[in-house]
Amino acid sequence: MNQWSADFIEQSPLLAVLRTAARQLAGDDWPALSRLQEIITRAGIGTASGLPLRLVSPVAGAGASYEQRLYARGELEFRERNWHDLFNVLVWLTFPRAKAALNARHHAALPAGKAGGRGPVRDALTLFDESGVIVLSSDIGLLTMIREFRWKPLFRERRDAVITGMEFLPFGHALCEKALAPYKGITGRALLFGADRDFLALAPAERLTQIDRRLALLIADPQSLRHTHELAPLPVLGVPGWCADNERPDYYDDLDHFRPGRMGRGSSTVADGNAMLREIR
């Protein structure tokens, strides 16, 4: 898809979480850097280091890594007419605190005196930043079924409970970009949160604000996201409503996509956020 359209995001069930941000760009051809900067500035979005967020064109040999430029200068690299970078900005507009917290963790994890360097913490942060999904439910049993890779029992046999009792919010901008041309093998990496019914009943805008705050606290905690195993694999097009084909009962029989995985090995973590979500309402 080569042409920007806010209508596409409006109509895509997978991208519903970005609709409020995208509506500010309705009518634009391709949202220009200057237009996006105006919206970012008006929203008062900044980095964890206290700097206002500024969109800048990538510069070869800038003397600092992407994460360093963002943290130390407030400079977010942005390529015009590029879906990947546009989705990144839309996620910043939707989850500003969490995105700032991710950058701060990245910066803190950089080896001293070096622009690059990886490690399990930065791998986990990058995986969530690119492919993350936030999953909430008041039913911990449903969240556990994701952790245990029980896809057909969850998405088919308990479909009504998933539709009424779970919320799936894409966070990763690379994952959002894949919605432009979805394919069955799309896999998100989920953080799983328990949330009481009162929290889930909040008005959408207030709930999203509180989710952003809770997520930022989790990301900022040095005891969290220390390894990619803390992120539960999620076959994205299995989520009810995100793909018309998954209405068919046999859709979840494709074990190449809905793999049984590592049941019983504790490869991912359910973050029981009941108390914490109540505290931040």
What distance in Å separates the CA atoms of residue 173 and residue 9, rounded to the nearest whole number?
13
Band (pLDDT 50/70/90 cuts) for residue 29 is confident
Specify if 120 maps to a domain. no
pLDDT at 115 over 80: no
Is residue 205 located within the same domain as residue 76? no
108-117, 148-157, 237-246, 259-268: the lowest-pLDDT one:
259-268
Instruction: Pick the last residue of a domain from 91, 112, 133.
Output: 112
What does the pLDDT look like over 103-114, one tens digit per residue?
999 999 987 545
Claim to verify: residue 143 and residue 106 sit in the same structural domain: no
For residue 134, the model assigns a pLDDT of: 97
Answer whether residue 117 is part of any domain: no
β-strands 187-194, 232-235: how paired?
antiparallel
DSSP element (H, E) containing 25: none
Rounded CA gap, 165 and 197, in Å? 9
State pLDDT tens for residues 246-266.
999 899 999 888 988 754 444
Of the two residues 129 and 115, the one the predictor is more confident about is 129
Portion of the chain with pLDDT greater than 90, in percent? 76
The continuous run of DSSP H or E covering 280 comes out as: none
Q: 78 lies in a domain?
A: yes
What Cα–Cα distance (Å) separates residue 253 from each residue in 150, 153, 235, 258?
Answer: 11, 11, 13, 7
The pTM score is 0.90
Please say which residue of 60, 82, 112 terminates a domain. 112
Residue 42, domain extent: 6-112
Of residues 1 and 37, which shows the higher confidence score?
37
Instruction: Count the domains in the chain.
Output: 2
My answer on whether 253 and 137 are in the same domain is yes
As a whole number of angstroms, the distance between CA 248 and CA 122 comes to 39
Phi-psi region of 271 (alpha: psi -120 to 50; beta: other; left: phi over 0): beta
Q: Which two tokens stand for residue 180?
A: 């432009």
Q: In sequence order, what are the beta bridge partners of 194? A: 137
